Amino acid sequence: MCTKERAHDHLARRLKLPNWYGRNLDALSDCLGEISEPTTILFRNTARLKESLGDYGTRLLSVLSAAAEANGNITLEKRERFSLASNRNR
């Protein structure tokens, strides 16, 4: 997720967001609010996201955190490092 566009493309694909998703933070917030089944968002390496996207990365993480607080179907997990052990169980 080294650009805004790639970040939104990745989120749209992984979260199976609708075609009308506008690929911006407001649209992301709207779509996350509509998630109606248990969904875990595992976000790895938030420091790198902030390096790549600066303030936008920070705001993106804020949108994800706010959505997890507002929508009981969303769980947000942040991990700073990739772990093969955690990936084996998926």
Q: Where are the domains of the chain?
A: 4-88
Q: How do residues 29-56 score in pLDDT, each as one tens digit?
A: 999 999 999 999 998 888 888 899 999 9
Contacts for 64 with CB less than 8 Å, ≥ 6 apart: 32, 41, 43, 76
Instruction: Assess whether pLDDT exceeds 70 at residue 88.
Output: no
Tell me, yes or no, if the pTM score tops 0.75: yes
Domain 4-88 has CATH 3.40.50.970: no
